[in-house]
Structures are given as C-alpha cells and as structure tokens.
Chain A
Amino acid sequence: MRNLRVAVDIGGTFTDLVAYDEDTHQLTTVKTPSTPPGFIEGVMNALEKAGIQPGEMTTFKHGSTIATNAIIERRGAKTGLVTTKGMRDVLGAGRANRPDLFNSNWDPSPPLVQRRNVLTVDERVDYEGSVLTDLDEDGVRDAARRFKKRGIESVAVAYLNSFMAPEHELRTKAILQEELGDDVRVCTSAEILPEIREFERTSTTAANAYLMPVIERYLERLVTALREWGYDGDVLVTHSGGGVMSADSASKVPARICHSGPAGGVVGGALVGQSAQIPSVITFDMGGTSADLSLVHEGRPSIASEWRVDWNIPILFPAVDLVAIGAGGGTIAWVDAGGSLRVGPQSAGADPGPACLGNGNEQPTITDAHLYLGRLDPETYLGGDLDIHPDLAEQAIAGLAEQLGMTEAEAASGILRIANASMTSATHLISVERGWDPREFALVAGGGAGPLHAVAIAQDLGIPTVIVPLTPGVTSALGILQVDLRHDLLRSVLKQAHQIEPDELVRVFDELETEAREVLEAESSDREQRIELSLDVRYYGQTPYMNLTIDEVPRDRAAIDAIVERYGQEYEREFGYRFDSDLATVEFVNARVAAIGVSPETEFEPSAAADGGPEPRRLRSVYFEESGGYVDTPIYERHKLAGGTRIAGPAIVEQGDTTVLVPPGTTLEVDQYLNILIDVGSGNGAAAQAAAAQPAVQGA
C-alpha cells in the first residue's frame, strides 16, 4: 500500500489536490470544480478523482478560501463586541482614512459588528497594565443578557490596553461563557493578539469571533466526511503565516486561516525554487483578476505583521507578505476622455470574462490582447474546454486601436506593455526598495497568465531566470504539502533595550516557549520539533518595527546589546542609514515564539533526460514587439518536454493550465524535475552576467 501525503487547496472556483508518495516520490495532481457553499463535496471528489484510498493517506493538509469569503461576503456569525466604557466606536471609526485622496464617493465597507451590538463595560487599565477601574462584572452580565435576547452567536472581547494586562478580558470571557452557555463562542484579544493599537487588535478579534461558528461548523463537517470515508489521521489547516495547525486550533483562531491560499502559493514557489537550486525567488502568480507578488529569501518567505481583508478590516496575524495588483487576464483596457490608453482597474473577471468568450463583455482584456497577438491558441486555451471566438477579441482590439490611431497589433502589444510596467513597479517595490537585489533572485511564474508575462518583468528588473514549475496551476496545493505545522505566539514587551532587565526578557520567552511546547506536544508529537525566537524591534518613538530572528534568548546585557547592533545593521541595509545611540534608543516591541513541527521534506524524483530535441506541435504566427512584427513561432506541448530539453526563443509552450511565452533572444531549458527555466539574459548586460554566475540551473 502507498503512503501518501495529501494537500488540498480549496479555491472559489477550483479545488486542487496534490498527493505525494513518500516511497516513490511520485506526485499526483488533480483539479476539480469547487462546490460552494459547502466545499466538502469538492474535496471528496478530488480524493476520488486522484484514486486515493483512505488507508493510504498519512497526512491531510488543506487550505481554504472559506474564511476570507465569509468576511468579504458578510456571511459570518451574528457577532457582538464587548469593549471598554467610552470606546464603542473604536471599531467603527477604524483609522478614519481613505484609499483615495479626492474620491468623496468612496464608502468603507460596513464593520463586522454593528454598532448596536457593541456593548461597553466599565473597566480600565493604564498603558503599563495597572488597574485604574475594576471590572464591572454586573455590567458584563447585563451585556450577556442583551446578547442572549438578540440571538448573538459569537462575542469578541477587546479592552483598552489589555495587551499589558489580560485579566479583565479573561474574567469577562468566563462570565459571558457562564451566562451564554457553550453554544455561543467567545474570544478575547488578550488570548489571540496581545499587541498594542486598539483598533487593529479589536478588528482582528472581531473578525475572529465573526468566523468562529462558521469555521467550526465547516471543519466539523470536513472531519466527519473524512472519518466516514475512512481516514483517521490528522486534519491540518493552512494559515496566513505559511504554516498549518490542527483543526481544533483553527476553530479557535479562524482569522488565522484567512489568506491561506496565497500563503500556500508562496511556499510552493519557494519549493519550486529549491528544486531548481535557486533558493531565493520572487513568486509571481497571475490569474483572471489580479496578480500576486511575494519575495522569498533563502527559502524564507517575507512575513508581514499586518494585512487587510478589506480596506478597514486589518488582521494583525503574521502573514506571508504579498503585493496584489489589479492586473489579470480579465483586466479591461480602455481609452479615457483624455485619449490615453488605460489598463484596469476594472476587470471582466471570469464572468463575463474576456471579449473572446462572447459572454457579454465587449471591451478588450489582457487575454484578448494575447489571443490577438497569437500567443494563445483558441483550440487549446485552458485545456480547450472553452468556446473561444478570436473574431470577438479582434473586434474589441480594433475598436481600441481606432480610438488610439494605431494598428491593432500595436494596441494589443501596448496593453501588455502597460500591464507589464505596473507589475514591474510592484516587483521593484518588494525587492529593490526593500534592499534586495533582484539579480540574485529567480522569478517563479504561476497562474494561467503568469508565464505569459514573466520574462518581460524579469528582463525589466535584471532578474536572470524565470522558472515555470511543471504544474503552475497547483502551486498553492504544492506549498501546502510542504508547510510545517506552525503556531506563532506573541507577547508585548514595549521597553527600551537599555532599560530592560535580561531576567524580564527571559521570563517572557520562557512563558511563550512553554506554551509553544504544549501546542507542539498536542498537535505534533511525532514530528521533529523546532522553536524559533524573534523580537520586533524599532527605534524608540517609531511605529513600524522590524522582526529579528534570534538564536537564543538574550540572557545578559551583552546579548541585548548585540541585538541592538544587529538591528542597526539591518536598518542600514534596508534604509541606507542608521541612528547613533545618542540620537535614538532602540525599543523591543514584541517577543515572538514560533512553534514548529517540521514537515518531512518533499523530494522530487528526477526524470530521465531527453534523447534528441522535441518536435513542435506546429508553427504559429506570433507577434513580438522586439522582432518588429509577426514571427513563425514553434508551439510545443509541455508534457512532451523531457529533462535536458533546450529551446531557443521565440517559442511557446502550451499546457492545460497555462501558456509559457519564450520571446526571441531568450532560452528555455527543462531541468531534471521538469521545471522550465528561461534564461532571459541576452540583451541585458547585468542580467547576462548574473545568469552566468548562477549556480547549477542547468538541466540533467
């Protein structure tokens, strides 16, 4: 019998499954339609389609869009919030800012808890955690009474300064639970996110409460379905930080499982880079409506300490740091009243989709431009299941070209240049502007549209290599397969480095570590365990901080000084200067401990090398701006490209879920794991140089 590790990524449209045979190192991938609103049926369909028997499955990990969707579509629980007297509108006011300077027509999305269900209780602690006003327990009971009458299903508790003193929140929870019974969920900010800044903390806690009943029911259904099917092992859930946790934990902190799909994608991209022996990669995933970009240095994804589900719904859990831009296959090109060609932000999405689908959108999209330029084959596009009308794409492009007074090919090519430029800007932002040299990275391209644009972006930034994994459509599931079990724990420190007592720091880290070990024991006793320590550090007085990983708890003054020094170095690397100690002291903001249950390595089986060059399926006329027009271009089928294959551009490689564009002057190679590596170097001195210095990216 096989030993299969299985990872499933449940997206809004498709459910992707990846199964890894631990003995043969063979990978099976399956894509099936998702089955909203329940989603479980889609998972079971994928298992069946992959031909997996319950007894073969050793691990089941999954990521799901259900939490994010529940927030965006406002399908969460009827939620109440208990907060400090006087602070009723901390949640509703948010940070009071707007995404657009001049747009008075913009409206924030409604808060997750209606004002009427935000109840306040007399209590107060100060910024150091001393109690100014005792908790009014009768007030809490009164709130519970009202919640009960209103049929509230879940309650968030967030008091001012509770990150310094959790007692009032914990006592409130106990009372609420006593009054409301076990059917109502209660969570406190002190338990899930003891970090300064009341709005962001309250928002995270409210989102968590809002999701608790929904995610709990969903996970129960999933576990039941898997048990009935015959699987009795762990059911693990991916979270935004690029790790997994048990279904039990996920039910308690469901806000952590928002954003899990993109997190899986980034970890998957890192894994692809590792298989190609390039550990530092920029992942680039471009689908129908947007493109996601993220940076992985030496196998470690960049982690942000804050992200937003929506403009005014920040969630402060660590999350893989993604930049999303509104450029996807369905993004619409148009001419504004000033006669300028604009690309986006409107998108035709999947429905009605590009003009070539003939589903009601007549405006040209990025996909239409590719189709017009011969880069997509109407017969085989997306597996050939769709009814594609090239004439409709042409009509749409022709309308645009006429308005602009240029040829259709120029207009189509122009759409792509504008889209590429905005993606290049975003890539620049996450690399160069954060102190990373893009020449030391490879660009891992995924999604249906990513491999069509990747070379142009790489060339613009001097990134020497583009990698297109064998299965770019399931990168997220692949990442989920690999992610470790991971819990991120945190305590506020908020002391200046020179004033902090080493004992104090040791005590905080000890507490966190104890908690971390308990979680690992409960969820991951059979894995290799690892504890990672880190500190959030900033100059005293600043708001943003930098997370520094530390090898051990600083136990004396010298160790603390060493961290301060390292902070200065890192700061200088990123910003180009640092402050002298007489000008600015350094503050330790949060102590963090990551509890990690290491996932076994995924090893890929090298494939046999090709004997002889591959035969193109056919030639097609494809437009390349750099060649000044249409060029007869060989079209290859991905599944026929064996390891060691080498093809000079121009060429196009087609596969069921994407199309790879290999422009003139670039070279494609297939490595032993069947990744496509494109050397984009020629025509770019710096890139060619870096490419030459790149280790072992050649195929077998």
Chain B
Amino acid sequence: METATATATAPALRNDPITFEVLRNAFKAICNEASALIERVSYAPTITEGHDYSVSILTPDGRLVSHGQRDQAPHMGTFEASVQHLVREVAEFHPGDVFIYNDPYTGGTHQNDVKIIRPIFHGGEVFAFAIALCHWPDVGGPMHGTFNPHATECYAEGLRMPPLKLYENDVPNKPIWDLIDMNIRVPNERVAERFAQYQAGRLVERRLLGYVEKFGEQVIRDAFEDTMDHSERLFREWVRRLPDGSYEFTDWGDRDIGREDQPPIKVHAKLTIEGDQVTIDWTGCDPAPVASWGFARPALQSATYDGTMHCFPELAPLNHGVVRAIDIVSKKGTCVDVEEPTPVTGYCSGAYEKVDCVTMACWGQALQKVDPTRVHAATVNLQNFCTGGVHPKTGLDFVSYLWLEGGQGARAYADGNSFYMMIFIGGASNQPNETLERWYPMYYTSTEAEVDSCGDGEFRGGFGLSRNFDVWGDTELVVLGDRETVGPPGLAGGTNGGPNILIRNPGATAEESLGMFTTKAVLKKGDQVYFASNGGGGYGLPWERKPEAVLEDVIDELLSLEKARDVYGVAIDVVDADALDYRIDDAETARLRAELAANDDRPRGTAPFEVNPLGEKLFLRPQELGTREGAPGALPGQAA
C-alpha cells in the first residue's frame, strides 16, 4: 500500500500578499502563453484543433506550481510523478539539457502522452522544471494510433521511453531523434510537435527568469511555496465545513476483453473526512484487467485530483497544495494501480473516467447538504478513435486520433449541457469535419444529437452526439472506449445516460456492432459507420421535471413524444409541427404522472437508462435540496 502524506495546516505567506498575488497570476500567465504557442506551431489536428496538450511549472523536487488554463487535467496530474522520477534517474542536470519521456508506469498516463521536460537553471542550480506535453497521434506499435484494445502487455502498444536527453546544450541529440523517428508512424509531423514542446519550455524559462531578475530568486521560490500553501488553505477550509464521515461509491467498466468471460471491472472508493483531513481509499477496486483499461498510480492520483477539482473549481489551477492535502490509498496490482507490463493505452476511457466519476460521487455525498450546486451526475465517456492508412489521392500515410463529445451529467440544480467535451478535458475541442475530410478518406454524414440519449430526471443529462461517416478509401480502425453497457450513472433517482455506440453498416444485412473495443477493423470503401456518444446521467425523478421543459426538448426534436410520455409522464398534442404548435395535455399529464409516481417499476442497474441503485440511495432529490427552481446562491467557479 502506498499513501501520500498530508501535512498540517499550511503556514502564513512568505512574501507580502501583493507580491504573492502578482506572482501567482504570473505563473498561470506563463503557462497559458506557452500553451498558446504550442497551439500555433504544432502539426497534428489532435493538437492544433483538439488542444490535447499541457504546460506546467514544477519545483526542483517535482511539486506542481501551476498549469495552463485550457490544458488537460489527466496530463498535469501526473507531472509530479514524472519530474520526481526524472530527478531520481538523472545524476546531474546541465543547462540546455532537455528530456523526452513517456513511460506510463513511472510517470504518466499512456505512451502517446509525450513529455518534453526542461530544467530551468539559475545561479548554477536547477531552479524549476518546465513540462510541455503533447498527445502524439502515434508512437508506434502494431496499431495505427498506438491504442491497442487487445494488447495484454505494454510491449504490444507503442514505444516506451525513459527520460532521454532530447537536447544537450540546446543542441538536438541526433541518435535519440533517429531512434524515435524509426519507431513511430509519420515521424515528420511529430518533428513539429517536438519543436513546439521544446519552444514552450524555452518560453517558460525566459519568462520565469525574467521574474527572477525582477524580484530575486528567493522571492520566486517563496512564491512557489506560497502558491501551494494558499491552495491547501482554501481546500482545507472547505473540507472543515463538510460533515465528518465516510462516503463510498462504485462504478463499473464495461468489461475486460482480455478475459474469456469478459467480466465488468469494479471501481470503488471510500472517501473519509475527519476535520480537514481527507483520505480516498481505492483498495476496494478489482484486480488489474488483462486488457488495456487500467492505469498506474500516477494516473490514479491525476484522476482523483481531477474529480476533486470539479467539486472545488475555485481551487484552479491545480498545484501541490491540493495534492498534499489528499491521502490516496491504493493497492498494487489493482485496476487503478497496475504494474508493468499490464497495458495502459486505454487508461483514459477506462479507469480515468470511472475514478473521476466515483471521486465526484463521493464528494457529492459530503457536499449535498452544504452546497448542492457542487453535485453532478456523470458525463459522457471518452472514446479513443483512431484511423490510419494511406490516403488514396495523395498517397500519403495518415494517422488520425479523434474523440466525440456527448452529454454532460445533470447537476443537482440544472440540466447537463449537450455536446459537451469529456469532463476531464474541458479545454479540448472537437475537430472540424471539413478539416478531417481533407486529410482522411471519409465523408461525414452526421453531426447531430442522438435523440432520447439523455439520462432522465427532474434535471436531465445532456444529449449525446452522432458523428457518422461513409468511407471512401480503405482505413484501419481502432477504438478503445467504454460505457457501451454501463451508462454514465444518474443520481437521486435519475437514470443513467445513453450508450456509446459504434456500428458498421447499420440497418444493412451486413450490420455489425464494432463496439467500444475494436482492434484493427478494416473499413472498406462504401462502409457506413454509425458513431454516437453517451448522454449524461440524470438527476432526480423524471416525472417531477417541469412539463414546459419537456415540451421544449420535444419541440427541438431532442426528445421523442414517446419518451416524453412514457418516462416523463407528459402528454403532448402536436397541432401543427410545421408551425411549431405543440400543446401539453394537462389532464392526461397529471394522470400519467400520478401513475408513474405511484408505481415506479423502472429497472434498477448500471445499464444505460436504468436507475442507478447507489445514485438513488445516496443522493437527495432537488425537492429535498431546495434546488427545484435552480441554483441557490452563487455558483462555484463562476468567478474563478
């Protein structure tokens, strides 16, 4: 068992409060600038359109100080482990050294997340580290895009790099560049990413040293510490307000496709609050799956921080102050603390989503009576969607990495938003169909809401999206997702959100569900692919939803008349659809709703549209929370 140690209450500021605030803002601004630079000079649409990258500043002993505002939480949550490993491994740093590193077991998430790390020197010593991470669309291995659902070992995924000197004295270290280029697809494109990440590190160095020159080294070092202490103080202040006790929740991965019986994978946590002490215990999780679904300890920490930050958004940016205030307990060899060579490319769609969801559900129980606006049902699950091949017209190799936005989980005071990026990558974007069609041999046939896909409730989840396409050139497809059979949990009697779906040639005799764990499906010219995402989980009882809100969704053709009637108990007469003349039948609605309330025989379970039993048992309904008319008071995070 491994735990992080929580310290006592943080000390007062070292710098004066004004200098502190100036520098705290400066650290954020530096990361934002470096992040913006990456966006402007990288190559892959994954990065330039999709924003799958991050920049952070860390102390010489590997504690996180700040990160970019639109960066990706899974990345930065692992940066402490990364730098701490680097510091252990490298005997001596020299100015101008730059390291490349992607090993998931010691410092990270999965092989595609390639970090470029620059030690920043002042006065002959390492003063800070800058990390710039980009998700490279390919780092080799048998599959286009490196995700390999059927891998049973990391050796069948992609190139794994310990910290390697990419630059020495700011001169590229050619053998290392060649080694990388020889082991990945479309290496030319990745050269641009390497430059971008390297330049981002230089920018952080330049800016940070500018502040050192102005304020003096000690002031900046103190500001690092003050920044962390400040976040820790804010966080503990919050925790003290919450009732002491233990809060538990369980969520499930669809299945371990590496085992013959393909069992679901259990993720369980127990959050314990005592005064301002926080422990999250993950030892109740299932053993590591055989296939690529779990993650190593650094990613567990990252996901726990992310779930926590969503409940306390005013703490952003994440830094070591929050990290050290949470004891994370896990057991080696479980699905959330896997060991080499258990594969991990699918960590994000697998364990990360579940840990995030469970963390938020645990905090939500502690928060619901204190501030119900911090209680959220689960959001769409990531699907890692990779295609590759040779473009029929240009003759060029291509690799594409995509994901699909879906429904946000309902909040205890409001609906979830539709077409919402996964909860942990709020800074990421979708990629335009028109850009994708130029690069890859497919025609998109839809970008439309998946009707009725929301988890239902007094507040419903957001709707999922279908982004279907026709193929006009042979393409290999690898998909590593989840939540096809386990929906994003609904809470307080709301239902789980709709499924992630991937079907080849729907409706045809050759219809085939490719599903969320597809290894190297070969799509042929003329194939039609139906690809749709989860709706968000619902909150509260559907028949307590305002009939007018149900009517609006029906008029917008997001919700069918049948679902409005059967699930929400709202009877709607369509007088003239062309003129948008729809009317609620009040008498019939009252009758239907009385019947639904008296006889709630909805199936309980974890499947899409079932009532999540734990969510139902552990969470109070809007009526009990006083949130039927919306948020009471200010919303957290709105001023952050």
Contacts and interface: CB of A to CB of B under 8 A. Distances in A.
Contacts of B573: none
B429 interface: yes
B155 interface: no
Given A101-B426, A104-B310, A105-B411, A96 B421 contact: yes
Nearest to A120: B448
Nearest to B188: A583
A13 B381 CA distance: 47
B426 to A, nearest CB: 4
Contact of B70 (A101, A103, A199, A433): A101
A539 interface: yes
Nearest to B231: A338
Nearest to B420: A96
B241 to A, nearest CB: 10
Given A543-B45, A577-B195, A160 B444 contact: yes
Interface stretch (A108-116, A212-220, A476-484): A108-116
A94 interface: yes
Residue from B43, B238, B426, B636 with most neighbouring chain A CB atoms (10 Å): B426
Interface stretch (B102-110, B251-259, B433-441, B617-625): B433-441
Contacts of B434: 127, 160-161, 163, 196-198
A97 B199 contact: no
Contacts of B195: 577, 579
Interface stretch (B80-88, B116-124, B513-521, B552-560): B552-560
Given A346-B639, A418-B22, A101 B419 contact: no
A422 interface: yes
Nearest to B23: A421
Given A87-B446, A544-B40, A96 B373 contact: no
A102 B433 contact: no
A418 B25 CA distance: 9
B578 A145 contact: yes
A127 B631 CA distance: 45
Nearest to A107: B417
A584 B44 CA distance: 13
B82 to A, nearest CB: 19
A146 B578 contact: yes
Contact of A544 (B39, B71, B557): B39
Contacts of A90: 433, 447
A114 to B, nearest CB: 7
Interface in B10-65: 12-13, 16-18, 20-22, 24-26, 29, 33, 36-37, 39-45, 48-49, 51
B81 to A, nearest CB: 20
B443 A196 contact: no
A685 interface: no
B71 A101 contact: yes
Contacts of B558: 115
Given A97-B427, A433-B203, A161 B437 contact: yes
Identify whether the interface residues of A are mostly helix, strand, loop, or mixed.
Answer: loop
B509 interface: no
B420 A105 contact: no
A126 B423 CA distance: 33
B24 A105 contact: no
Interface in A558-604: 575-577, 579, 583-584
Contact of B199 (A337, A421, A541, A575): A575
A445 to B, nearest CB: 21
A132 to B, nearest CB: 7
Given A95-B430, A102-B309, A421-B26, A89 B447 contact: yes
Contact of A89 (B234, B313, B449, B631): B449
A341 interface: yes
Contacts of A621: none
A342 interface: yes
Contacts of B578: 145-146, 149-150
Interface string B200-230: 0011000000000000000000000000001
Contacts of A108: 417
Given A160-B433, A161-B437, A584 B426 contact: no
Contacts of B192: 539, 541-542, 579, 584
A151 B12 CA distance: 63
B42 A542 contact: yes
Interface in B94-146: none
A100 interface: yes
A213 to B, nearest CB: 20
B24 A86 contact: no
A55 interface: no
B576 interface: yes
Interface in B225-279: 230-231, 233-234, 237-238
Interface in A68-123: 86-90, 92-108, 114-116
B199 A576 contact: yes
A103 B579 contact: no
B447 A93 contact: yes
B17 A341 contact: yes
Contacts of A104: 310, 313, 376, 408, 411, 423, 637
B230 A86 contact: no
Contacts of A422: 25, 29
Contacts of A99: 69-70
A198 B192 CA distance: 26
A497 B437 CA distance: 20
A410 B19 CA distance: 12
B215 to A, nearest CB: 11
A494 interface: yes
A439 interface: no
Residue from A126, A429, A541, A577 with most neighbouring chain B CB atoms (10 Å): A541
A414 B315 CA distance: 22
B574 interface: no
Contact of A339 (B230, B432, B638): B230
B3 interface: no
A97 B51 contact: yes
Contacts of B43: 539, 541-542, 584
A346 B428 CA distance: 26
B168 interface: no
Given A98-B426, A101-B316, A116-B555, A338 B234 contact: yes
Given A106-B638, A418-B18, A425-B25, A150 B73 contact: no
B638 A103 contact: yes
A544 B408 CA distance: 29
B465 interface: yes
B445 interface: yes
A429 B34 CA distance: 10
A29 to B, nearest CB: 36
Contacts of A404: 17
Given A96-B420, A102-B310, 15 more contacts: A86-B444, A97-B421, A97-B428, A98-B426, A105-B373, A105-B635, A105-B637, A107-B417, A337-B238, A339-B17, A406-B17, A417-B18, A541-B43, A543-B435, A577-B199
24 contacts: A90-B433, A92-B418, A93-B465, A96-B419, A96-B421, A96-B428, A96-B429, A101-B69, A102-B306, A102-B637, A103-B313, A105-B411, A105-B636, A106-B638, A196-B434, A198-B432, A338-B234, A406-B17, A414-B18, A494-B438, A542-B192, A544-B40, A576-B199, A583-B191
Interface of A: 86-90, 92-108, 114-116, 124, 126-127, 132, 145-146, 149-150, 160-161, 163, 196-200, 336-343, 345-346, 404, 406, 410, 413-414, 417-418, 421-422, 425, 428-429, 433, 494, 539, 541-544, 575-577, 579, 583-584
Q: Which 6 pairs of residues, A with B, have the shortest CB-CB distance?
A: A103-B637, A414-B18, A93-B419, A543-B48, A96-B405, A86-B446
Interface of B: 12-13, 16-18, 20-22, 24-26, 29, 33, 36-37, 39-45, 48-49, 51, 69-71, 73, 188-189, 191-192, 195, 199, 202-203, 230-231, 233-234, 237-238, 306, 309-310, 312-316, 318, 373, 376, 405, 408, 411, 414, 417-421, 423, 426-430, 432-435, 437-438, 443-449, 465, 468, 555-558, 576, 578-580, 631, 635-640
